[in-house]
Amino acid sequence: MVQQRTVADTAWTPESERALNQVCAEMEEQGQNELSERLRAIVNPLREGQWKIVVAFCGLFSAGKSSLINALTGASLATGAVPTTAKVETAAMVNEELGCEIDLLDTPGIDSTDASHEAETLAHLYLADLVALVMDYQHVEADEHLEWAKRLQDEGKRLILIVHQVDKHLDFELSFEEYQERVETAFSAFGVEPERIFYTSTRPSPYSQIVELQSFLLGLAHISPWEKQFSIYIRVQEILRQFAQICHQEEWQKVQEDVMDIFGQFPENAQEARQWLETRSKSILKVQKDYQLRLDELQDKWNHERIELARLIELAQISPYETTELGRKYVESLRSDFRVGWFGREKKTEQEREQRIQNFLNDLTDRAQKNLFWPLQSALRAFLQEELSSGTWDAAQLDNLTVPISSELLQRQIKSGALVSADYGYQYVRDVVAAIRGQTLARLQMMLDDYQQLAIVQLQEEEQSIKQTFAPDVEACRALNAWLQVYESIEREWRQKLNAIPVFSEVGAR
């Protein structure tokens, strides 16, 4: 008697049992009893120490799944030209050497119009260590085959393809090698890379690999206990992912619909979603990058103009020798020993002082107007005409770019304690000029701040106008970001549940 192999070394512990019960309880609270039962059925081999390989045969109803399973196992499953398989039936093969049973599941046709048939098939696919997609020789490239193969592969299932009824092949139409190449190319182009492709027939055919298929299936018994455990781990992942999607059903459906409306399809995973996002965001990022570049250029240009205008203020010649002399003479008249005439001296002295400050004031005002204010206004006007749109600023405002030069301003610069110095007159004029320049610079900076803000607003309006042309891309990016947010929440939640079961956290870490 052959001793049955076990998977008792898979370390199923009371902690794993408690964690499993907690997850199943959560499913049942959400009304997902069927999902809970499916999860328990998947992990039963670990919980009970069973060693059994499960292979699910699926395909269109006329593909010959039942007759193929009968030929492989010697069973007598019902066959026929109508959909005979309404529920999953099982036929067994036994690897006597290893003491391992290989169960072949005959599932309902994947093209059945009865929704319960598809549900029955999906329920048992979760139990399978390997899925065999069986296809009729003449309909291999049917859309259903390509789409199901891609779906199974994307879900992480081990997959083989079986091209059945190759006895229909006629060599005079094309060589069998050419036919094989066509089959392989069709699936490869669709992104499907199966573990193996077998060509079979239950009738005599030189191309039938039914013996090789049987040998391959019996060889599945050679997988190690850890490989069996990993197979279960992959299927548990899919169940938990499905449950997480159900928990986020409303928001998941919303983001799915939004993405479908824009792209006509869903991303396969987060990586593909990010690729789509990158493609759509390139134009937006370019606009943003161009805007930032233009904003930096604007800041640089205005900063440069500030420096140039400040330099113009600093270099403006408003106190040549003649003007300086007038200022010195005015300072001279302020000294305590300054006297004019003999009769009516006080009045004449005061009149002389008034005349001297007026002479200094008139000359200084004239030179400041010609050599400072007018050139400064002209330079700023030329700059604004180049940088701002017409109508966004008023040229008359530049008239304010002057400093009122009054006798009060001149008197405020006097330092009484310095009047005794013979050279103070020259320093006084320098102080007056510095005050005029300082006040002019302050007015200029305030005016430039206002105009620069106008320039920034003008640039922002231009950017918004450009962005309008990319509104579809903006909406696509919004939808993809929302999709990614929900997708990643789902991924995070099912992984947390998976890692909470000790036996699977160990598999994931290996």
With CA atoms as reference, report the closest residue to 245 among 38, 41, 30.
Answer: 30
At CA 62, angle to CA 56 and CA 68, rounded to 5? 50
What b-and-e string marks burial along 408-429, b requiring 16 or more CB atoms within 10 Å of the CB? Answer: ebbeebbeeeebeeeebbbbbb
Residue 315 pLDDT = 94
**Which comes out higher in pLDDT, residue 462 or 380?**
380
Q: How far apart are CA 111 and CA 432, in angstroms?
A: 97
Average pLDDT for 428-449: 94
Give the pLDDT band of residue 439 (cuts 50, 70, 90): very high
**DSSP-H helix ranges across 157-269:** 176-189, 210-219, 225-247, 249-263
Residue 117 pLDDT = 61
pLDDT at residue 290 greater than cutoff 80 = yes
Q: How far apart are CA 443 and CA 430, in angstroms?
A: 20
Q: How far apart are CA 1 and CA 4, in angstroms?
A: 9
Q: How far apart are CA 324 and CA 228, in angstroms?
A: 102
**Which comes out higher in pLDDT, residue 276 or 50?**
276
Give the pLDDT band of residue 483 (cuts 50, 70, 90): very high
Residue 198 pLDDT = 97
Place of tokens 């079979």: 200
pLDDT at residue 84 greater than cutoff 80 = no
Structure confidence by residue, pLDDT tens digits, 373-425: 999 999 999 999 999 887 778 888 888 888 999 999 999 999 988 888 888 99
**Contact between 167 and 201 (Cβ < 8 Å):** yes
**Contact between 71 and 89 (Cβ < 8 Å):** no
pLDDT at residue 82 greater than cutoff 50 = no
pLDDT at residue 346 greater than cutoff 70 = yes
Residue 469 pLDDT = 76
Residue 111 pLDDT = 64
Residue 451 pLDDT = 92
Average pLDDT for 103-108: 89
Residue 303 pLDDT = 95
Give the pLDDT band of residue 321 (cuts 50, 70, 90): very high
C-alpha dist (Å) from residue 240 to 92, 124, 270: 29, 16, 17
Q: What is the mean pLDDT of the chain?
A: 88
Give the pLDDT band of residue 1 (cuts 50, 70, 90): very low
Q: How far apart are CA 60 and CA 86, in angstroms?
A: 13
- 3-state secondary structure string across 209-238: CHHHHHHHHHHHHHCCHHHHHHHHHHHHHH
Q: How far apart are CA 388 and CA 393, in angstroms?
A: 8
Give the pLDDT band of residue 172 (cuts 50, 70, 90): confident
Cα within 13 Å of Cα(120), Cβ side: 20
Give the pLDDT band of residue 510 (cuts 50, 70, 90): low
Q: How far apart are CA 350 and CA 11, in angstroms?
A: 113
Q: How far apart are CA 357 and CA 237, in angstroms?
A: 95
pLDDT at residue 118 greater than cutoff 70 = no
50-54, 204-208, 447-451: range with lowest mean pLDDT: 50-54
Q: How far apart are CA 46 and CA 502, in angstroms?
A: 12
Token code pair at residue 451: 């105009």
Q: How far apart are CA 265 and CA 501, in angstroms?
A: 34
**Which comes out higher in pLDDT, residue 62 or 365?**
365
Indicate left, alpha or beta for 257 from its phi (over 0: left) and psi (-120 to 50: alpha): alpha
Q: How far apart are CA 21 and CA 47, in angstroms?
A: 12
Q: How far apart are CA 501 and CA 499, in angstroms?
A: 5
With CA atoms as reference, report the closest residue to 435 among 410, 399, 401, 400.
Answer: 410
Residue type, 406: S
Average pLDDT for 92-97: 88
Give the pLDDT band of residue 344 (cuts 50, 70, 90): low
Average pLDDT for 31-44: 90
79-93, 248-262, 265-279, 388-402: range with lowest mean pLDDT: 79-93
At CA 323, angle to CA 322 and CA 324, rounded to 5? 90
Average pLDDT for 453-466: 86
Residue 291 pLDDT = 85
Structure confidence by residue, pLDDT tens digits, 179-202: 999 999 999 999 999 999 999 999
**Contact between 166 and 208 (Cβ < 8 Å):** yes
